[in-house]
Structure 1
Amino acid sequence: MKSDFKFSNLLGTVYRQGNIVFSQDGKQLLSPVGNRVSVFDLINNKSFTFEYEHRKNIATLDMNKQGTLLLSVDEDGRAILVNFKSRNVLHHFNFKEKCYSIKFSPDGKLFALATGRFLQIWKTPEVNQDRQFAPFVRYRVHAGHFQDLLSLTWSSDSRFIISTSKDMTAKIWSIDSDEKDLASTTFAGHKDYVMGAFFSGDQENIYTVSKDGALFVWEYSAKPTEDEDEEEDEEDIDLSKYSWRIAKKHFFYMGQAKVKCVTFHASSNMLVVGFTNGEFRLYELPDFVMIQQLSMGQNPINSVTINQSGEWLAFGSSKLGQLLVYEWQSESYILKQQGHFDATNSLTYSPDGSRVVTAAEDGKIKVWDVASGFCLATFSEHTSSVTQVRFAKKGQVLFSSSIDGTVRAWDLIRYRNFRVFTAAERISFNSLAVDPSGEVVCAGSLDSFDIHVWSVQTGQLLDTLSGHEGPISALAFSIENSVLASASWDKTVRIWSIFGRSQQVEPIEVYSDVLALAVRPDGKQVAVSTLKGQISMFDIEDAKQVGNIDCRRDIISGRNLEDRFTAKNSERSKFFTTINYSFDGLAIVAAGNNNSICLYDVPNEVLLKRFVVSKNMTLNGTLEFLNSNKMTEAGSLDLVDDDGENSDLEDRIDNTLPGSRRGGDLSTRKLRPEVRVTAVEFSPTAAAFAAASTEGLLIYSVDNSVVFDPFDLDVDVTPQSTLEVLAEKEYLNALVMSFRLNEEYLINKVYETIPLTEIPLVANSLPVVYLPRLLLFIGNFSLESQHIEFNLIWIKAILSAHGSYMNLHKHIFATPMRAIQRFIGRIAKEVVSLGTENKYTYKFLTSTDGTVAGEDEDVLLEGASEDDEEQDDEDINVDSDDETGWVGFEGKDNKLPLEANNDDSSDEELI
């Protein structure tokens, strides 16, 4: 059992707050998810989350035009500079003020920062600059606004910058001191906040958009005079008569809605506006022609951006955590994702490990693809919060239990609900277990002391298992022998034989309230987590305790803001509420209402590794000690509601309902989220485990890049040494060395040199680390290659040797297998069309016994054998002497060449 798990991805959350940014090539979208940054690859359909964390939620971020540096700033003004290519943190910096916007200049030399009512301009750190004490050097500070800044926009030549503010004005600033007089202008005239200001493509006009829906077009012109007929020479232009003036005024007329966000694409003159009612519009400027008008819901659109080509629009809405990428020309969605609105209750892996299903308090069930990080489907048939989800063994059927009193079965092939199970009376189900055969489903409740058993085929209630003297807290089936284990508040664990004749069971005394239960995969041991912070292991056959782990000292418990006691004296989180066995039963992962996920070694009863769930200080329970400067006699200053001091009306009004969100006191309107993990589970592939937390669905996996490879330690791996090894007929070593060097020409050379007889041996001995790369190479190379049978033999040998491993790691081989399928599909189509077109030629050639009319009878077709009976025994014939790769297909007596030899012109005319 490997223990070197590391954070690999964050699922279940796609957008929280702040601005979203496209990469320079427009293929990737960066979205802030709490105190982390997620990147969505829109071309390859993948996503990943940076490993670094901020101390608080991210307020704004931006990436330079070169695509190398990412700068993100949290709510307190603490910034982290990251190398986007290598994903390494370069520098931490504190701006010591709240930042509203950050923008890199188009040339990448500077970046502008909106902090309060000041505009700060900083130099971008460079590799080739002189060594200095601080990587960040402030270049200039501009002050001129009277209220907080809202947005920043650079000119295309990086000479000017426009800032907009809540003081209903916009200002243009110059980077160079020599041009200060040309750019000392205030754009006034709006009657509400100026949400954005933009340069036109030729920088002759400036567009400003206000919150009340007004668009002003400004142009640099002279003041109109009475002597308009007198034309001045171009050389004698008096700049003192010129100024920025309003040329046109346009209005959106959107009723009660306000402008929430706006962006402009200069090269296509397209303006995109998002409103507080969830509507967005596309306008063409300067004529102000509305192109499209759509809605993404009823909640405000918080952020909008356009990619470099102007084809894709990205929208973010923080109310429900929605992220949308829209192609406006084809009116289609490139990406449409939404996380859970409320706390996640449960998760489960599919049997092949390629998908994770989550259930939440919002009554929705979401299916997530582990490899891509995207949500594949959402089920919303439950009318109340979903408490638990479980897969059947084959992975095609999913079961879920809910507080609404139903257990539902879902078909994951057609994505529909096909069964609803209910009890004789309406009770809320909180635990669920599915028989490995998929014939029986069981559910327990806190309202009843009985376990309900249904038939999946008929939907009928088969039995109610009575015996517990308290509410049922957890259920679990054994994978091997279909034994059901149940835990209850009566401080006992019972083992039921569902399919046995006798239902007499003896309770196993635990001497404490059982919070979670897990059965070892072989069905011989059961582990329970108790309220006293212990994990106890019991032998199922003998009903005896075989082990115990004391977890209290391993748990990192934080102090909530409203706590009157220290974290050391807190008993609230000194236990685990969810546990799960590893695939081999040698390890247990455990988590609960605290900031730690612990991995334990079962035979030795020791802690292997502890993971910190989150470092986000905006969550309750992440800090062990509170800030004494904020502590008063009435409690912490962070608990004081200061929303009434906000400048925006919509920020002052609180429309939330008491008890509408889970956590803390249900009578309060606003809740400070508490860090907790509601479910953990190992992947069936044993390479990862998932944890459903307050921050989202955390995926921890074993880093495959650190798998030991002896060639990593060899400094003599060069192209010359690779060719020497190839000449010595060490084909496996040569192939691995070529992949280590990652030179395509070298891989091609080694790949085509390996003889047919050696292919099965090389494929069988190839390390699994190189399997995806080899398959992807074959899939891409074979589309242009002439050696059809050679590539097919390679594919067959790889699938025969490593098919079972590939089946367990489908998410790793998804892209290579698509390339292979594309090759096979295209070749099959070409072969069918070729055979149809040459049907009569083929019949003629087979009827002439290998001779061609008009030629000497001694001349035989290349590839045609003199002994027809020997030819019938072979399906496909390859002439190894021919460098162009002679490939034929089985006929009656002869083979039809797909490509002719250059020396034989008569054969070229046959096709």
Structure 2
Amino acid sequence: MKTEFQFSNLLGTVYSRGNLLFTPDGTCLLSPVGNRVSVFDLVNSKSHTLPFAHRRNIARLALNPRGNLLLSIDEDGRAILTNVPRRVALYHFSFRGGVSALAFAPSGRHFAAGIGRQVEVWHTPSTPDVAGGDLEFAPFVRHRIYTGHFDSVQSIEWSADSRFFLSASKDLTARIWSMDLEEGFMPTTLAGHRQGVVGAWFSKDQETIYTVSKDGALFVWRYVLRPEAPSGAGDDDENWQWRIADRHYFMQNNAHVTCTAFHPESKLLVAGFSNGIFSIYELPEFSQIQNLSISQNDIDFVAINKTGEWLAFGASKLGQLLVWEWQSESYILKQQGHFDSMNSIAYSPDGQRIITAADDGKIKVWDVNSGFCVVTFTEHISGVTACEYAKRGNVLFTASLDGSVRAWDLIRYRNFRTFTAPSRLSFSSLAVDPSGEVVCAGSIDSFDIHIWSVQTGQLLDRLSGHDGPVTSLSFAPDGGTLVSGSWDHTVRLWNIFARTQTSEPLQLMADVLCIAFRPDSKQIAVTTLDGQLTFWSVSEATQQGGIDAQRDVSGGRKMTDRRTAANLAGTKSFTSVRYSADGTCVLASGNSKYICLYDAQSGVLLKKFTVSVNLSLDGTQEFLNSKLLTEAGPRGLIDEQGEASDLEDRRDDTLPGAQRGDAARKTRPEVRVPAVAFSPAGRAFCAASTEGLLIYSLDTGFQFDPFDLDITVTPCSTLSTLAQKEYLKALVMAFRLNEQNLIRRVYEGIPVSDISLVVKNIPTVYLGRLLRFVAVQADESPHLEFNLLWIESLLSRHGRWLKDNRGLVEAEVRQVEKCVKRIQTELVRLADENIYRIEYLLSQPREKIEEPSALAFEMEAGGDGMEVEEEGDSGDEWMGID
């Protein structure tokens, strides 16, 4: 089995904190998700997460006007400059302080950053994709520092010509700066607000400035002649000044402005408030267009795309991300992550969906390809502890602490069956028979295992035998055996379909935490509280192997820990274990930052994945910094909230001793991986972590993935090979370069008559990639018959190889099957819609094409000025003779 899994995508979390960004073309939205950046393609309904990660949560993002450079800065002021199309981190840099505002100039040559009370303007680093650009040793060069504010800068906006910029600050003022020294220009202060200025903008003609403060006041500034200026002094700049021309107020009761955005071309102003309401106004008349509520909590940030049609809102309290089209009053994107930590995850049998269940009582269905949440179930009224698919994939079962086990129809998206016990219990584990007829659940209150019939919903039986809470249940894939694990240090094997439901206990040395069946039903893997991972034979009830995983899983020291990570007991055990699709490897995770991949036969640690390096989470550091330890304790735990300047920031709504749960409680998140799951094809696995649902895949090639590359393989040589009609060689060279446009050009340049020959001789190492590429082309390109001919040739020529190596190309085959079904459905629909038009055309009489009559030939040959004219459909219907 291949083990080169790499981070592929992040689902389950769509927005954490920071600012949102639209790309220059307005089709993609960039959102900070913890210490990573997710890109949402709003046109194609897809999302992906950039591969780099900061050491702390991201505070600010900025894109250059071309849209190819992304500057992301974390809470400590450490920046990463990224090439967005190629998803490559170019430079790392530290601003030595938190950055509260960031903006690129429209020219793209400079960017401004608000660092505390100062504004710093820097030159944009040159990049290799620019003509004459090359990688520099010290790419960040500061242009100038601007001082004058007395409190932190909250926003920066550039003028259209990149000569001036506006800065808004908490010191109740906005200031106008020139990037370079301008003759006759003096930095100007716009004062008059009674609370901190949230935003300031130029109008399109730069004759007007708009400023908005936290208390909901909008001031309109215009450049006018001073009242005390003498008459006829209009040409002297000293006699002109910026003055307040108009004042407007938002009038939101007991709510303050949290974010604003202005679109100069359409003169739209959008304001978000602390009560979850946003308003759209048209300036300078200040006429309200819309006033809508999207949340019960603060709206943290709002952004407007280039055309002014789409508005993006981010609310960090509940992790909401919304894109609103204000003209049609409809959602373009509406996503929300889990509020509490995830407990359980499950892949659908086709590998296209992932189910997540969390402590907030919600069950979410995520689409793997698009990265979006498809549906959310909210019927549970307490934390959902377990979820599992039925084998056919259309039914999902979930267990909850509210005392119910529910069955969900994933075609109609509804809860069609609810199972309960005679007494109120909190269910913590779940197992479903492969036939889908029986569902079992274990509880932390009762030591019995409850069995229900899915068809009738009746409680069939209660299995007694354990002396402690049942923590894990699992059915054998062949359906013959049920295995249960408990805190009583035993694992029991049950044959519930036999006449006598006997159980055989397997004795272990500590509490059982998780059980997993091997796909062939002959072996189980058991994790226990003492950090042991043991393998047992089901038929012989004997131990076949064991791994002491304490040193592998332990890692990460919390801020309150008195011991080092190696000596902590709480992180030294696995809470989740899963077999790979072929049964050769096991994947295990626990309450630490590590995921371990073991070889099941030898017990060798194949690979160790670090889930997060985010220092904003507890448990990511191996050693604590002694500089952060004070006489009052760790600096991160000292409450500095009482020193805040605003009343709502000083107010303490936390409950004493609360670590997690209610929204009113302050939490410090800890890095944990409560659940892992392999995809059915074995090409990827997902992990439920504190930051979201992480997906690791073997298929992570983006733009450039060299495979068997040498110096002679270039785009020019590939195209020249194609021109010489060496189609197979050109296709292999294009796959080696892995440039999508080049592959498409070669693919479409192969004649139809040569498709079968090329497919017949293509090396098997390229078959999976070719299948995947053809499936994508069948979805995107209009060449329907051409793509179907490729698919037909691939399946007919290499069908036997694809069957024998199904584990390697299962995902690609399913993708091809999916696109063929889509084409079939669309053709059927097209035929159904046009059936009457086709019948009408077939019923029409055909035109008669006959030879002219002999009389006409004779008259034409005879001359005497006579001509033969034919009108109508045929010569024998009408003839005119002049």
CA distance in 1, matches of 2:160, 2:822: 40
- Structure 1's 713 and 466: CA in aligned 2 closer, same or farther, altered over 3 A? farther
Partner of 2:425: 427
- Report SS of the residue matched to 1:407: strand
CA positional deviation for 1:811: 8.0
Q: Which moved more, 1:32-41 or 1:797-806?
A: 797-806
Equivalent position amino acid for 1:186 in 2? T
Matched residue of 1:52: which SS? coil
Asked whether 1:187 is paired with 2:190, we answer yes
Cα-Cα RMSD? 2.9
Asked whether 1:141 is paired with 2:141, we answer no
* Partner residue in 2 for 1:22: 22
Structure 1 residue 687 corresponds to structure 2 residue 683: yes
Q: Is residue 2:636 matched to residue 1:632?
A: no
Give the letter aligned to residue 189 of structure 1: G
**More displaced, 370-379 or 632-641?**
632-641
C-alpha change, 1:608 and 1:131, in structure 2 (3 Å) is: closer
CA pair 568-633 structure 1, distance change in 2 beyond 3 A? farther
Structure 2 distance, partners of 1:813, 1:274, is 45
**Letter in structure 1 aligned against 2:402:** D
Distance 2:425 2:481 in 1: 25
1:533-570 CA-to-partner distances (Å, cap 9, x unmatched) read 11000000000000101111212422211122222321
**CA separation of 1:323/1:854 partners in 2, compared to 1, >3 Å: closer, same or farther?**
same
Q: Which residue of 1 aligns with 2:850?
A: 854
Counting only pairs closer than 5 Å after superposition, residues 863-882 of structure 1 correspond to structure 2 as none
How far apart are the structure 1 equivalents of 2:664 and 2:563?
21
> Which residue is equivalent to 2:667?
671
User: Residue deviations 1:176-206, cap 9 Å, x none?
Assistant: 1124x42511111111111000000110100
CA distance in structure 2 between the aligned counterparts of 1:131 and 1:341, rounded to whole angstroms? 42
Q: Which residue of 1 aligns with 2:323?
A: 325
Distance across 1 between alignment mates of 2:484 and 2:222: 75
1:78 equivalent to 2:78? Answer yes
Q: Counterpart of 1:872?
A: none
Partner residue, 1:889:
none
135, 151, 154: which is aligned to 2:158? Answer: 154
Alpha-carbon shift at residue 829 of structure 1 (Å):
7.1
Is 1:238 aligned to 2:242, yes or no? Answer: no
Q: Deviations over 1:878-910 (max 9, x none)?
A: xxxxxxxxxxxxxxxxxxxxxxxxxxx99xxxx
Distance 1:598 1:832 in 2: 58
1:240 & 1:117 partners in 2: Cα distance? 28
Q: 1:667 to 1:490 in 2, by over 3 A?
A: farther
Give identity over the alignment, percent.
53
Matches within 5 A, 1:106-125: 106-125=106-125
CA contact (8 A) 2:554 2:566 kept: no
Distance 1:725 1:434, change over 3 A: same
The aligned amino acid for 2:25 is: D
Alignment of 1:349-498 (within 5 A): 349-498=347-496
Cα distance change, pair 643–528 in 1 and its aligned pair in 2 (3 A): same
- The answer as to whether partners of 1:196 and 1:210 remain within 8 angstroms in 2 is yes
Q: Does 1:55 align with 2:62?
A: no
- 1:695 alignment partner AA: E
Q: Is the 8 A contact 2:554 2:573 kept in 1?
A: no
Give the distance between the partners of 2:570 and 2:564, measured in 1 at CA.
11
- Contact persistence 1:776–1:815 (CA under 8 A): no
Cα distance in structure 2, aligned partners of 1:688 and 1:781: 27
Alignment map for 1:200-349 (pairs within 5 Å): 200-224=203-227, 237-349=235-347
Partner of 2:35: 35
Counterpart of 1:501?
Answer: 499
In structure 2, what is the equivalent of residue 870 of structure 1?
Answer: none
Task: Report the Cα offset of residue 241 of structure 1.
Answer: 1.1
SS of the aligned residue for 1:754 comes to helix
2:694 pairs with 698, 704, 710, which one? 698
Q: Please give the secondary structure, in 1, of the residue aligned with 2:642.
A: helix
Kept in 2: contact 1:153–1:163 (CA 8 A): yes
Question: Is 1:65 paired with 2:68?
Answer: no
Q: Deviations over 1:1-30 (max 9, x none)?
A: 110000111111000111011111111111
Instruction: Say whether the 8 Å CA contact 1:400–1:409 is kept in structure 2.
Output: yes
1:354–1:810 contact (8 Å) kept in structure 2? no
1:609-648 alignment, distance < 5 Å: 609-648=607-646
Equivalent position SS for 2:574: coil
Q: How does 1:642-657 map to 2 (within 5 A)?
A: 642-657=640-655
Q: State the secondary structure of the residue aligned to 1:719.
A: helix
TM-score (norm 2): 0.89
Q: Is the 8 A contact 1:314 1:326 kept in 2?
A: yes
Question: Secondary structure of the residue that 2:504 maps to in structure 1?
Answer: coil
Any idea what the Cα deviations from partners look like across 1:45-97, whole Å, max 9, x if unmatched? 11111222111111111111111111111111111111112111111111111
CA distance in 2, matches of 1:599, 1:198: 53
Q: Decide whether the 8 Å contact of 2:118 with 2:147 is kept in 1.
A: yes
Looking at structure 2, the residues matched to 667 and 193 of structure 1 have their Cα atoms a distance apart, in angstroms, of 27
1:593 deviates by 0.5
How far apart, in 1, do the equivalents of 2:351 and 2:778 lie? 26
Superposed CA deviations along residues 743-767 of structure 1, whole A, max 9, x for unmatched, are: 6554333143427x76985799771
Residue 560 of structure 1 corresponds to 558
1:55 is aligned with what amino acid? R
**What do the CA deviations read for 1:365-394 (whole angstroms, capped 9, x no partner)?**
111111111111111111111101110001
Determine if contact 2:408/2:417 at 8 Å carries over to the other structure: yes
Aligned-partner Cα distance in 2 for 1:339–1:816:
29
Task: Give the Cα separation in 2 of the matches to 1:523 and 1:826.
Answer: 44
Q: Kindly provide the amino acid, as one letter, of the partner of residue 104 in structure 1.
A: F
Q: Which amino acid aligns with 2:10?
A: L
> Which stretch shows the higher mean deviation, 124-133 or 299-308?
124-133
Is the deviation greater in 761-770 or in 500-509? 761-770
Secondary structure of 1:526's match?
strand
CA contact (8 A) 1:518 1:528 kept: yes
SS at match of 1:769: helix
Normalising to structure 1: TM-score of the pair? 0.86
Query: CA shift at 1:419, angstroms?
Result: 0.7
In structure 1, distance between residues paired with 2:663 and 2:270: 41
Q: 456-465 vs 771-780, which deviates more?
A: 771-780
| Structure-1 residue corresponding to 2:4 | 4
Aligned AA (1:335): L
SS in structure 2 of the partner of residue 283 of structure 1: strand
Superposed CA deviations along residues 650-675 of structure 1, whole A, max 9, x for unmatched, are 22113344576638xx9995332111
Aligned residues between the structures: 835
Distance 2:192 2:744 in 1: 61
The secondary structure found in structure 2 opposite 1:559 is coil
Answer yes or no: is 1:196 the counterpart of 2:192.
no
Distance 1:469 1:661, change over 3 A: same
The aligned counterpart of 1:579 is: 577
Give the counterpart letter for 2:26 in structure 1: G
Distance 1:795 1:468 in 2: 55
Counterpart in the other structure of 2:857 = none
Q: 2:100 is matched with which residue?
A: 100
Distance 1:667 1:376 in 2: 25
Structure 2 vs 1, CA of residues 819 and 498 (structure 1 numbering), >3 Å: closer, same or farther?
closer
Distance 2:581 2:713 in 1: 38
Match of residue 178 from structure 1: 182
- Write the mapping of 1:520-559 to structure 2, written as runs, cut at 5 A: 520-559=518-557
Question: Is the 2:771–2:812 contact (alpha carbons within 8 Å) kept by the matching residues of 1?
Answer: no
Q: Secondary structure at the match of 2:503?
A: coil
CA offset at residue 250 of structure 1?
0.9
On the 8 A contact 1:18/1:60 being kept in 2, the answer is yes
* CA 1:304–1:792: 2 relative to 1, 3 Å: same
CA distance in 2, matches of 1:834, 1:723: 43
Q: Where does residue 861 of structure 1 map in the other structure?
A: none
Deviation (angstroms), 1:342: 0.8
Q: CA deviation at 1:632?
A: 3.3
What SS does structure 2 have at the residue aligned with 1:178?
coil
